[in-house]
Copies of this chain bind each other. A is one copy, B any other.
């Protein structure tokens, strides 16, 4: 079993879930709130977790995490946390459950509307201690298990970013066993989320060589193993490396992200369409790479190296083809996005923290053009 201590203590391997009891004890948790969703409850994953809980631990379960976690859901979970006198959190699921768990931890010790604590409103410098949180990812994509960020849809429908070292899980238990049953489409879409993290983190001009190196390593793993994991969900080697790549993607974006994420945050805020974050990242990535191409020096050369592409290969075209091979949507139109939504989407992007870390900051007009391009397929 590999023990990795940055930025969060991580245990990764098949069967890693067995350390959960120890992890709860070390963090003084005896009455955890398990934050998860109905999809997880319908599989055997919840039973697997339940079976390794020590006898003296009494869990409360919140299984109402929506696809894009909302402030409303966070407050429902928080009410259960308080009602049952919980003393910590187990976040079990994909990025949505883990992000929701972090937001519950935040509001357990911080009053007011959640937007008061957003990165855009300077929350990072004001967020203090929160209850301990153990993250157990069941997808390989988000990396949220090793990060201090959480993306929440506010009561007025905006998708905001909250970030603080105090939101970082005390421990990430990364057990690829839990991803063996993940359906093809979710494997593909979450895996492309990891790829987007690795690529965007590498391209942002913020200087952080260790994070950049980790991003390139994660990217190589996604290119090598994602198609294998999609083609054969029981490919244990591929599942291990995708789990690692997902965490590496998040470690990498300690550097920052870019317009792939500002755009997919805007798109993901829509309460009707409920679009999947990883899928959105996959679909908008070629468009954003073309927009950034002239502003990244020779970084595309390094990306091509990590991806094993030829010296002159077009990375954007390669990703379009890879998306097709993974049977992901070809464009935003296919996902239900309409031209009429574009002006509001473009405005949403301008206050997203990821906007500011892109190699160059697009204008509202340029965002509108990028959305239009992604509507047609990049």
Q: At the interface, yes or no: A244 with Cβ under 8 Å from chain B?
A: yes
Decide if A5 touches B209 in the complex (CB within 8 Å). Answer: no
Q: How many copies does the complex hold?
A: 2
Decide if A4 touches B211 in the complex (CB within 8 Å). Answer: yes
B2, B217, B248, B251: which contacts A6 (Cβ < 8 A)?
B251
Q: Name the CB-closest residue of B to A210.
A: B214
Q: At the interface, yes or no: A206 with Cβ under 8 Å from chain B?
A: yes
Q: At the interface, yes or no: A66 with Cβ under 8 Å from chain B?
A: no
Give per-residue flags for A5-23: 1 if the beta carbon is below 8 A from chain B beta carbons, else 0: 1110000000000000000
Q: At the interface, yes or no: A285 with Cβ under 8 Å from chain B?
A: no
B5, B206, B214, B254: which contacts A213 (Cβ < 8 A)?
B214
Decide if B248 touches A2 in the complex (CB within 8 Å). Answer: no
**Bound-state Cα–Cα, A2 to B221, Å:** 26
Least distance between A16 CB and chain B CB atoms (Å)? 12
A→B interface (CB under 8 Å): 2-7, 165, 206-214, 216-217, 221, 244, 247-248, 251, 254
Q: Name the CB-closest residue of B to A251.
A: B210
Least distance between A28 CB and chain B CB atoms (Å)? 16
Decide if B5 touches A165 in the complex (CB within 8 Å). Answer: yes
Least distance between A350 CB and chain B CB atoms (Å)? 24
4 new A-B contacts at CB < 8 Å, known A5-B7, A212-B217, A213-B214: A2-B208, A2-B209, A4-B208, A4-B210
A221 proximity list for chain B (CB < 8 A) = 209
A254 proximity list for chain B (CB < 8 A) = 4-6
A4 proximity list for chain B (CB < 8 A) = 208, 210-211, 254
5 closest A-B pairs (Cβ-Cβ)? A6-B6, A213-B217, A2-B207, A6-B7, A213-B213
B5, B210, B247: which contacts A217 (Cβ < 8 A)?
B210
Least distance between A348 CB and chain B CB atoms (Å)? 27
Query: Can you give 27 A-B contacts (C-beta < 8 A)?
Result: A2-B207, A2-B208, A2-B209, A3-B208, A4-B208, A4-B210, A4-B254, A5-B165, A5-B254, A6-B6, A6-B7, A6-B210, A6-B254, A209-B217, A209-B221, A209-B244, A209-B248, A210-B210, A210-B214, A210-B217, A210-B247, A210-B251, A212-B217, A213-B213, A213-B214, A213-B216, A214-B214
Least distance between A204 CB and chain B CB atoms (Å)? 12
Q: Name the CB-closest residue of B to A220.
A: B213
Most buried by B among A4, A6, A244: A6
**Bound-state Cα–Cα, A7 to B211, Å:** 11
**Bound-state Cα–Cα, A328 to B34, Å:** 58
**Bound-state Cα–Cα, A209 to B252, Å:** 12
A209 proximity list for chain B (CB < 8 A) = 2, 217, 221, 244, 248
A6 proximity list for chain B (CB < 8 A) = 6-7, 210, 251, 254
A244 proximity list for chain B (CB < 8 A) = 209
